[in-house]
Structure 1
């Protein structure tokens, strides 16, 4: 069984320089491959394979353009992997699985440097450090997180908001799990509360309504405004000295904005992990949740920001992974299932229910219950569903 680990690392200044250089070359090669295929696609409605592009780059392009020989100063495997990533993106486009491939922008796109395992001494794992090919030993921030002595298949090094991370794919033994014997659970996701669980009295709160997140969002808005003004100042100043100084200030301000974005992302991801952990600890036999139309909800300009901050898609992916590891069946009810309009007591449907009605009152039997609680019970009792793989 293959398992991935991602953790932060503390490279030296020399190692940082090499990582930044490798990531920069990978981004350049990826964009170069996309640009060449764009011209081919316009003329022939096809694309050049990654293997053919790699041969053309090594045998024809570099000998004729010696000013680009700095491409060979970084790991060749990392460069080839970036070409393969571009080819994969083009193949997805031709299979109509995604849109047309876009260029990767500096300081905005997530570019990773790929390092394979070439020999037995590569990717040596110790408690406090990790040996990466071409980089040597790099200190780990979280000691003992990656199991020592594991067989690493491959790994990537990435940078985000001035911090460096390593992701490794290791071979791990698949641990057997006990078949859960508990009852099922229905989960209703929302905006007022993040999740209402049918078997839990208190719902999981919306983390975006807490003071810490709101303060960070206000701070982010101010820093983004400062960054925008620096760009305006750069357009006004024409002198080289002042322009260069402004570019350096823009880079510093960009790092500040990225750090705030990352901080908010980490807070929200941690909240999702805590919710999933508490749900899985109940050891239910199955979990039922609704297939939300997130893209449709995002079209409502009054709810778009609130929906985006909840990270419903990330919650579903993480929950499906945990259910698979613990032998729990994850059931997905259809998005048209009337979980909110259906009375959990008598089964009648209230057609005049509005979004502003937070309390459900049944016209047939007079049953009164919280709207989200009623939806979670109906999801628990749903008979028509699909099982997430």
Structure 2
């Protein structure tokens, strides 16, 4: 659990980023999987419509996020499973899509292309909402559509107003909740008129003039393990692809898919865990 101050607002409040670990149960995990898919589905549906509109007549006026939000109601009637998502998260999808199109139209260098379709094979899944999140005890939060979800300590949310939240499923299989919260401006520390010298070196990371030493950082163990699992992952996935192609060429009645081979998926998760441990130590 860590937090970063993002930016200062006018007045006595500041915006602060807070990241908490989530521990959803099996039912909530299935709900989250559908909510991730719903955001991806709305993005692809809206993008397909805007692409067709742009190809038919490039002189047509640009559709903003408010006009796209009007299309959510008929889309929910046609696809009732979209009602299982937080309605504000689907509006945020339209907001992100609108911003992507604006970046495309405003870019004169030609380096920014048109928005792309989202794939379900993307490892890091997430959705963002603007609804109210309530604390329910020291270890529980009430999240829209999910109910009460176990989390890390919620003491950091005291005297805060959540403006936006994001639920993320990392490639390691862990769930996190990132919050953009508004908090009172912290008190400024008074100067002590004391000085300290810092010597940054190779043998030691830093040596202070008051005698404190900070040893150099070494995470070679997890980096080596990550490289080993990277090779295993690449080899296993390559073999799985060959078997899938073999079934297609032989025209098997029930051909195997790439997702049916769990060996390379296990290696992928082990590789992600080692990379995350090295990144956390470095951070």
Q: Same fold (TM over 0.5)?
A: yes
User: Does 1:72 pair with 2:83?
Assistant: yes
Q: 1:84-233 to 2 correspondence within 5 Å?
A: 84-96=95-107, 99-100=112-113, 101-108=115-122, 110-118=124-132, 122-140=133-151, 142-144=152-154, 146-148=156-158, 150-161=160-171, 162-175=173-186, 176-179=188-191, 182=195, 205=216, 207=218, 210-233=220-243
TM-score (norm 1): 0.56
Q: 1:266-281 to 2 correspondence within 5 Å?
A: 266-272=277-283
Q: Check the 8 A contact 1:159/1:165 in 2, yes or no.
A: yes
Q: Check the 8 A contact 1:27/1:104 in 2, yes or no.
A: yes
Go from structure 1 to structure 2 and tell me whether the alpha carbon gap of 1:56 and 1:133 turns closer, same or farther (over 3 Å shift).
closer
Greater displacement, 38-47 / 217-226: 38-47
Post-superposition offset of 1:243:
0.9
User: Does 1:51 pair with 2:61?
Assistant: no
Cα deviation, 1:48-103, whole Å, max 9, x if unaligned, reads 222222323434x566xx3x332233222111111111112222233329722222
Cα deviation, 1:338-372, whole Å, max 9, x if unaligned, reads xxxxxxxxxxxxxxxxxxxxxxxxxxxxxxxxxxx
Cα distance in 2 between the residues matched to 1:51 and 1:242: 45
Go from structure 1 to structure 2 and tell me whether the alpha carbon gap of 1:266 and 1:124 turns closer, same or farther (over 3 Å shift).
same
Cα distance in 1 between the residues matched to 2:204 and 2:107: 34
Gaps of 5+ in 2: 1-13
226, 237, 242: which one pairs with 2:247? 237
Match of 2:20 in 1: 7
Higher relative contact order (CA 8 A, sep 6+): 2
Post-superposition offset of 1:204:
7.1
Cα deviation, 1:201-235, whole Å, max 9, x if unaligned, reads 98975646x13311221122212221222122112
Gaps of 5+ in 1: 273-389
Q: 1:1-40 to 2 correspondence within 5 Å?
A: 1-40=14-53
Q: Check the 8 A contact 2:76/2:83 in 1, yes or no.
A: no
Go from structure 1 to structure 2 and tell me whether the alpha carbon gap of 1:197 and 1:16 turns closer, same or farther (over 3 Å shift).
same
Q: Check the 8 A contact 2:233/2:264 in 1, yes or no.
A: yes
Cα distance in 2 between the residues matched to 1:227 and 1:41: 38
Cα distance in 2 between the residues matched to 1:79 and 1:255: 32
241, 245, 253: which one pairs with 2:264? 253
Q: Check the 8 A contact 2:222/2:274 in 1, yes or no.
A: no
Cα deviation, 1:115-170, whole Å, max 9, x if unaligned, reads 3334xxx4225311111122111111x33563446433331212122221111222
2:19 alignment partner, SS class: strand
1:99 alignment partner, SS class: coil
RMSD between superposed Cα atoms in Å: 3.5
Match of 1:344 in 2: none
Structure with the higher strand share, 1 or 2? 2
Cα distance in 2 between the residues matched to 1:57 and 1:147: 32
Cα distance in 2 between the residues matched to 1:186 and 1:88: 45
Q: Check the 8 A contact 1:8/1:166 in 2, yes or no.
A: yes
Go from structure 1 to structure 2 and tell me whether the alpha carbon gap of 1:124 and 1:198 turns closer, same or farther (over 3 Å shift).
closer
Post-superposition offset of 1:259:
4.4
Cα distance in 2 between the residues matched to 1:69 and 1:194: 62
Aligned residues: 257
- Which has the larger Rg? 1
